[in-house]
Amino acid sequence: MNAYEEYMKQMVKPMRDQLTTEGFQSLETPEEVENYFNEVNDDKTTFVVVNSVCGCAAGLARPAAVAVATQNDHKPDATVTVFAGQEREATEKMREYIGQEPSSPSMALFKGKELVYFMPRLHIEGRHVEEIAMDLKDAFDEHCK
């Protein structure tokens, strides 16, 4: 690993930890993403956060994701994350499963391998964290029973 890569790894560590310390599994290679989805059964719900270094990820997406994933009555069976701009290949593989235009940050909810909800950056940036959390809560309440 060169000096730049090491610097970036250390710089994003707190941003990654904001999710992983709350139980999100960090998928850092395309193989980890693929293996995860190969093991998912049709009834399992998975909440995915495509993390990034931007301000809307820090102040809006991650706080809303953590609050709803840990506090809502209806929770997904699993929470995972990929980090756009850091693990590019893993993020690209996750985006293949999501099947939407690339968007960072973004959040997705799967039932098995089927995408049942997607929140792109467009629906994160410029909103209040409570509004984002309520949208996630509604998606969890509908799909995570």
Active site residues: 54, 56
- CA nearest neighbour of 36 among 24, 45, 27: 27
Contact 84, 54 (CB under 8 A): no
Report how far residue 145's alpha carbon sits from residue 127's, in angstroms, rounded to the nearest whole number. 27
